[in-house]
Amino acid sequence: MASSPSDVATRDKEQGAGELASAAPELAADTGPAAATDTGPAADAGVVKLAVLERGILRQFEGEAALAELPGAFGRRGARMWIDVCDGGCELKTEVAGLLKLHPLLIEDLAERDQRAKLEPVDEVLHAVIFSLGFDAGEIYERELDFVLGDRFLLTAHSRWWNPFTTRHVRIGAAELLAKGPGHLLWCLADDVIDSYFPILDQLGDEIDELEDKVVGRADRALLERLFDLKRQLIQVRRVTSPEREIFNVLSNREDELISAEDRLYFRDAYDHLIRLTDELDTYRELASATLEAYLSTVNNNLSLIMKRLTGVTVVVAGLGAIAGIFGMSEAQFAMRGDEGPGFWIVVVGSLIVAAIATAVLRLVDWI
């Protein structure tokens, strides 16, 4: 049962800006690739949360109460709404989208959740798809986030591994954000997602710096495999951020009744962040490529050094073997009994002296 407007207003004054975040159920943070393996009824049940701002009063609903309140709030022109669908299956998303009277094709996109990053106008709403990124155990993973922006509402659909109620802007108060319009709330959520990209890129950059130091001293197979992993991850980040840059370019420049002139300035700031992100991404990709080239150069240098040393050893050993082959093993037998003349020993000592001189010369030129 939802609280009455007077009770909610009193509670909002007492608890301050964190009301919506504290009222939301605990959701797991976006912590790792294990999220992709979560299956079963609990994962498909889904949770619907509804925040309605009307005459300066923020009311909150969850579950069946949210679904029951949504049609009435949608029919009141003075109400602004944030509808959040967390981990909902096709049936739940279809039900919520039907209450908002969305286009069937848009409902299908929300239910499938297998979209590319895009911004698409459908009837009188905007459908934006962006991706959150996470970094765990040296691997990058991504999660699809769907936003549907209407004249008086914002619908968010996502997995339980991303919690919009804990984002930086929402923590300071959802009522104030909805008061500025659903478009401003969309910027708040998207801005937090974009800002989360930078720590991930910094970690990749730090690892590239470490590999640059290691590649000169020790070029092994594990280092090469990690270099290829980093290049793949950088491409993955670029695949996510490049279309998003175009999305925010459109939101910051195109005149649309759903985005106010003031909010376009905010979206332009997010667009600038993405420009800086892609510039850093290109720099790291070049550094990774340069590190790979340095690795290959180090391997070639090591191979050349080995070949030089083998050549030097061959010169010494082959010379001794050639001289020894003249006399044969039978001469050594006589020499050991003392029956061989001094000529044999002169040749042996001379051969050893020549071998020592060759070894010294080869060491002097750093071949052995």
**pLDDT single digits (tens) 5-51:** 434 333 443 343 343 333 333 333 344 444 343 433 344 568 999 99
- Write down the pLDDT at residue 43: 42
Per-residue model confidence (pLDDT) at position 16: 38
**Torsion angle, alpha carbons of 287, 293, 294, 299, to 10:** 150
Where the chain has pLDDT below 50, the residues are 1-43
- Which pLDDT value is given to residue 220? 76
Q: How far apart are CA 79 and CA 323, in angstroms?
A: 103
pTM here?
A: 0.72
Q: Tell me how far apart the alpha carbons of residues 262 and 100 are, in angstroms, rounded to a whole number.
A: 26
The predicted structure's pLDDT at residue 140: 86
Residue 45: its pLDDT value, please? 67
Dig out the tokens for 135 from the structure: 């970094």
